[in-house]
Amino acid sequence: MDKFVERQEALKLLNAPTPEERLANLAIVLGSEKEKPEVKPQFANNHIHTIYSFSPYSPTAAIYCARDEGLETAGIMDHDSIAGAVEFRKAGKIAGIGTTCGMECRASLDGTRMAGRKLNNPDQAGIAYMAIHSVPDSGFAKLQEVFGPLREKRNERNRKMTANINALMESKGITLDFDKDVLPISQYANGGSVTERHLLCALSEKIIARAGKEKCAEFVEEQLGIKLSEKQKGQLSDPQNPHFVYDLLGVMKAELVEKIYVPATEECISFKDLVKLADEAGAILCYPYLGDITDSVTGDKKAAKFEDEFLDDLFEMLKEEGVHGVTYMPARNTKEQMTRLQNLCREYGMTEISGEDVNSSRQSMICTQLEDPQFKHLVDATWKLIEREKVSE
């Protein structure tokens, strides 16, 4: 059987409706394995999204895919939720994969020296994405308790953005119903979050149904007025493209978010409260470095300037507020950006954590840059996180 087809068949089982089914199926899939994947200990990834935010993978499927690509470790990182972590941890034990658990969220910069600044959030100034890494099992319930009401607040904004999508699309014969089209493709009922990607995924499915895969590229350019690159045209003109909806979603995210976006306010925890919460949960709070972008690795971010011009001041603020780490993605930035960032991490005593932001079936779990000696320590750091969480169990 073709390797891709074999993986897709496994994913059907590993994306079953319940965690119990998924975990049982993982044991069956691994038990029927004829050949184990080649192990690649030089790689690690601590930023894998699951269906509890937005991803083609359940926590169990994410573990399977990480192992299938040769990883010995894997890290979960969902938006506003850590509901998938228990399943992720159990799947890791079944598969013999070291696990580290975390979640990401947005925090208000009000009250800090970065108030009002545009940092690592492409859509809104004054709000920063933050990563809560290395959460022990004892911290899961606390984080879910705090972020539950914030997820509800986020859905109030999601409904407004759905209305904005409809204002843009009704003339094209497309409308979204948040309760019927968006919520069912999320894990909101099970403690997960609903993100902009869910809205745009639901929209992408509607576009595909309206235009058909053969005419999708034509519809996007002629009806929506979005200029596609030759690569995008090729992807969105191929009915056999297995990543079709994710490729269309990437285009929608890059081109439409600024038109439909509603500023986040009440759903964003204050920076000081987040620092305190991470400490209470026994986690390591990290700032996810974005850096000025030229070519987005995920294909859904436009070229833009972010925190590079005032990076020294940012590190001063992080130290002042009690942030203990920085997380970054070597594939996304230049060698010069990475060298500068690493030097600042060492100067300020920040833990360095790596991870490639996986939320599409087209993406690999592996960041090849980790083979560079400049990043070898990031794999060692991952094992330290895993051991840290084991001690806390």
Closest C-alpha to 47, from 364, 348, 387, 389: 364
pLDDT digits (tens, 9 = 90+) for 234-252: 999 999 999 999 999 999 9
Report which secondary-structure segment, H or E, holds 77: strand 73-79
Cβ count near 126 (within 10 Å)? 19
Distance from C-alpha of 332 to C-alpha of 182, rounded to nearest angstrom: 30
Cβ count near 177 (within 10 Å)? 11
Query: What SS3 state is found at 317?
Result: helix
Tell me, what amino acid is at 251? V
Residue 42 structure tokens:
């030089």
Distance from C-alpha of 205 to C-alpha of 382, rounded to nearest angstrom: 37
Distance from C-alpha of 163 to C-alpha of 110, rounded to nearest angstrom: 29
Distance from C-alpha of 52 to C-alpha of 228, rounded to nearest angstrom: 30
The structural domains of the chain, with segments of one domain joined by +, span: 3-150+265-392, 153-260
Which spans in the chain are helix H? Answer: 3-14, 19-31, 59-68, 85-95, 140-169, 196-211, 216-222, 230-235, 244-260, 271-280, 311-321, 335-347, 376-392
Contact indicator for 103, 78 with CB cutoff of 8 Å = yes
Query: What SS3 state is found at 76?
Result: strand
C-alpha 372, offset from chain centre: 24
Query: What is the SS3 string spanning 99-141?
Result: EEEEEEEEEECCCCCCCCCCCCCCCCCCEEEEEEECCCHHHHH
DSSP state of 370: G
Q: What is the pLDDT of residue 298?
A: 46
Distance from C-alpha of 92 to C-alpha of 74, rounded to nearest angstrom: 8
Q: What is the pLDDT of residue 5?
A: 81
Report which secondary-structure segment, H or E, holds 74: strand 73-79
Does 3-150+265-392 carry CATH code 3.20.20.140? yes
Contact indicator for 51, 198 with CB cutoff of 8 Å = no
End-to-end C-alpha distance for the chain, whole angstroms: 40
DSSP state of 372: S
User: In the chain, which stretches have pLDDT less than 50?
Assistant: 296-300
Q: What is the pLDDT of residue 295?
A: 53
C-alpha 283, offset from chain centre: 18
